[in-house]
Structure 1
């Protein structure tokens, strides 16, 4: 006897999730994870500060972008919450009237943590590719690494990786450069031969 089809998660299921959790719907499955750790949040804030001045406000850069921390994206039948997303202004000229947007970003950044890394690197990368997001960054504050990808004929092509020793100039924000070490101001620079285990304390 065939098993009954599993019920697909609805938006009502997502709204019922307690506020201390981040909720997403991917492939019809409700997925949750804890709110980010302090290190995770500090990395997101620091990156937003590096990008907003030149790219959102036009201070020392070309402007023309809008950035949102943890936006709710409705992409096809999925509901995703990246850590940071950016849109070119011509594609998102006004603030949506809803709490979410169906306009796919021009860039997304996922900040990796213990509870999200596998999902970020697999199903979420696939959904972003299906939604034709052209640029994706993955940042690991524990290992102090940035990996950047560009969409190439529907598949992600890795264009580079950087660590805390580097000043980075990475598409689509290669009009400026910044020190990657500035994304974790309270941590000492981590060399390739150092054990990052201490930086995993409190990681979620």
Structure 2
């Protein structure tokens, strides 16, 4: 933050135009427009895949709360990942409070990378997630068709990379296979015939 510049406050987030997402990182306001369609598609598809298997547990082991774009408050830091998940046993009453934000660090976060957010997501936000005790962070690049899985270690993150159309078992959801090819936005479809 520059000399003489005041620290960002929550009022700065509330003053953003409709459709903008605000985060406060190191007392600086980061204002971002709504994501592109391919970004939203990947986040939505991943939320459905994980939610059905691990959230409500209809086709899998269950045990997780999932929230799209939750507002996380870590002291003065305000972060908004694309997706986040909390294990039931660690956060049994997570959604009982009527607050518009979460102050308990998630067990897992996912950031879907876009050209305007990739540096922030890979840099300061990833470091803050580690500092706050998030055990796993996923970075998904819908243009490069890659998934980076970060597992929290004592001194930093341990990284596993996956890509393309692979079917993977990615922590912390490795109890079930995940078909990456189903997550990427579909290509153009041919026009119907006469």
Q: 1:65-80 alignment to 2 at 5 Å?
A: 65-80=64-79
TM-score, normalised with respect to structure 1: 0.87
Q: 1:93-132 alignment to 2 at 5 Å?
A: 93-94=92-93, 95=95, 96-132=97-133
- Superposed structure 1 runs of 4+ greater than 6 Å apart: none
Are 2:118 and 1:88 aligned?
no
Quote the residue 1:47 is aligned against: 46
SS of residue paired to 1:30: strand
Aligned length: 185
Contact 1:104 1:131 in 2 (8 A): yes
Quote the residue 2:28 is aligned against: 29
* Displacement after TM superposition at 1:92 (Å): 2.5
| Cα deviation code 1:123-176 (max 9, x no counterpart) | 101110110100000000000000001110041111x11112310101100000
Partner Cα distance (2:84, 2:46) in 1: 11
* Displacement after TM superposition at 1:93 (Å): 2.1
Contact 2:146 2:164 in 1 (8 A): yes
* Cα separation, partners in 2 of 1:4 and 1:180, compared to 1, 3 Å: closer
* Displacement after TM superposition at 1:49 (Å): 1.1
Q: Which has the higher contact order (CA 8 A, sep 6+)?
A: 1
* Displacement after TM superposition at 1:90 (Å): 2.3
Contact 2:167 2:179 in 1 (8 A): yes
Contact 1:132 1:154 in 2 (8 A): no
Partner Cα distance (1:72, 1:178) in 2: 26
TM-score, normalised with respect to structure 2: 0.91
SS of residue paired to 2:65: strand
SS of residue paired to 1:149: strand
Long gaps (5+) in structure 1: 189-204
In angstroms, what is the RMSD of aligned CA positions? 1.4
Quote the residue 1:10 is aligned against: 9
SS of residue paired to 2:43: helix
Long gaps (5+) in structure 2: 189-194
Quote the residue 1:201 is aligned against: none
Quote the residue 2:192 is aligned against: none
